[in-house]
Structure 1
């Protein structure tokens, strides 16, 4: 398809979730924003824990000018979980969504584990990417030991390290166990710890332990994109919170050093989620970057 040859389903899409079959697996997908605008294709973090809710809230702010596609990845949220949960498969699903949207190129966006997949996509499908937006992510699994050290050193709560290791190594027993382990580490994420807000997040999370276990026990063992990141040709914005415990600033600095046309912004009053904790400034930063590299009317219908 050409840039403007969108499918009828995509053109008619609204914020109401649709069921879209991509690579033989049904995904829950939502589309926000004006027809003909440049497409932002987002990938949420935390496989088996994350969902389209986070990118809908953050990138949805840009839907006044951009066409934003948010979805639950294979094995997460409300989507089916057929096949394997590999980085290659998740990247292929992204390209299937790009094709469904009828976009020759997309702005690829992802935070945390979603950043892993956004970079994977930019490496595997360079001609399909007009820009990349990353948040609080890492180019390899080197952040794992840093995260463990930060968890042990935290003065907020005493972490049960047996639960920490089970969730970190992908050894949770079922959805209830994943929920219990998630509750254990959530106090580490925010710039300001609010126990009530943390518990609300625990209750709102959709739990899919199979995808989580595969991601953390299989995918991350050999995860290392550093040798391939210099081949990313799209302009890239990298954002990170100053006190991010799980993918610290040093991880984003490594990415910025390796991607040639990249820009790093550190948010001083944020933990792992500057898109929430410094929402206005984060949104301004992303919008300004996109205005420069992919102006809103670049793909508009004539």
Structure 2
């Protein structure tokens, strides 16, 4: 489905109903707005893990402007601020009141901007393997945390150096998908990556725009203490992309946040430890709704 939001047609898909049928009538479920990472990916890779929440929440997936099935708009309009405004207007136009906004990876960048720019619209915030900046955040005890260098192959390290320095082409992204993505998950979970990534699309111009224009200036560390909405911060212990140090910093800095670390996950806890992910989100939703 498409919704005209600001100057773009935004794709969204609703994975579950807004109400549960219970004895005596219909009971409204909380709504989760799910924002994918990348940028340059789409929401597809989120579906296996987040669709499992359908019994306890209405889950709405959005392809952010310029990504996935959404309209290709001028890249200079594809800012984190504009994407956050798109999501806020999307909720307003569809009458979605106080949703829980879920942001994974770079989707967390958008979710945090929405919490800063439209605080009254959110009922809750779930940051999953995100970060308030792309700059390194050191642990207070000096522990470097998980690193690609500690476990990556020579091929993975070589392609990481090329991609993260801004060399994003069809060739490098093919090598990225083959050689590097297996190291995005915990060592015991490498086999799930092919399944996850087969569900999503890649957009090279958007990736170039994100890596070369958007990400270098992204830093919300000084503003986190103004976020008052209840927040759940989730992180995989093996995540070197958005590491535990970033999650711990966010949980310490936001006014009403709690941290849950997944011991057997990397960058995709919802796919790597789905049962723990479900129970963690369910507990957070119960807190928000008073157990309804």
Instruction: Give the shorter-chain TM-score range.
Output: 0.7 to 0.9
SS of 1:54 mapped into structure 2: helix
Maintained 8 Å contact 2:132/2:220: yes
Residue number in structure 2 paired with 1:286: 281
**CA separation of 1:221 and 1:289: change in aligned 2, threshold 3 A:** same
Q: Mean Cα displacement is larger for which, 258-267 or 92-101?
A: 92-101
TM-score of the pair, normalised by structure 2: 0.86
Residue number in structure 2 paired with 1:31: 14
SS of 1:105 mapped into structure 2: coil
Residue number in structure 2 paired with 1:265: 260
Residue number among 71, 93, 100 corresponding to 1:107 in the alignment: 100
Maintained 8 Å contact 2:98/2:123: yes
Cα deviation, residue 215, structure 1: 1.0
Residue number in structure 2 paired with 1:150: 147
**CA separation of 1:239 and 1:179: change in aligned 2, threshold 3 A:** same
Q: Following the alignment from structure 1 to structure 2, what is the Cα–Cα distance between the partners of residues 167 and 204?
A: 22
Residue number in structure 2 paired with 1:133: 126
**CA separation of 1:110 and 1:90: change in aligned 2, threshold 3 A:** same
Answer yes or no: is 1:43 the counterpart of 2:35.
Answer: yes
Cα deviation, residue 206, structure 1: 0.8
Q: Following the alignment from structure 1 to structure 2, what is the Cα–Cα distance between the partners of residues 99 and 80?
A: 20
Answer yes or no: is 1:189 the counterpart of 2:213.
Answer: no
Residue number in structure 2 paired with 1:254: 249
SS of 1:151 mapped into structure 2: coil
Cα deviation, residue 271, structure 1: 1.1
Q: Following the alignment from structure 1 to structure 2, what is the Cα–Cα distance between the partners of residues 255 and 243?
A: 18
Cα deviation, residue 77, structure 1: 1.6
**CA separation of 1:259 and 1:194: change in aligned 2, threshold 3 A:** closer
Residue number in structure 1 paired with 2:215: 220
Answer yes or no: is 1:69 the counterpart of 2:60.
Answer: yes
1:215-274 CA-to-partner distances (Å, cap 9, x unmatched) read: 111111121111111111111100111111111111100001100111001111111111
Residue number among 2, 19, 29 corresponding to 2:2 in the alignment: 19
**CA separation of 1:163 and 1:157: change in aligned 2, threshold 3 A:** closer
Q: Mean Cα displacement is larger for which, 185-194 or 250-259?
A: 185-194
Which runs of structure 1 show a deviation greater than 6 angstroms over 4 or more consecutive aligned residues?
Answer: 144-147
Cα deviation, residue 34, structure 1: 2.7
Maintained 8 Å contact 1:139/1:224: yes
Residue number in structure 2 paired with 1:173: 169
**CA separation of 1:236 and 1:79: change in aligned 2, threshold 3 A:** same
Cα deviation, residue 161, structure 1: 4.4
Q: Following the alignment from structure 1 to structure 2, what is the Cα–Cα distance between the partners of residues 269 and 142?
A: 25
Answer yes or no: is 1:82 the counterpart of 2:65.
Answer: no
CA RMSD of aligned residues (A): 2.5
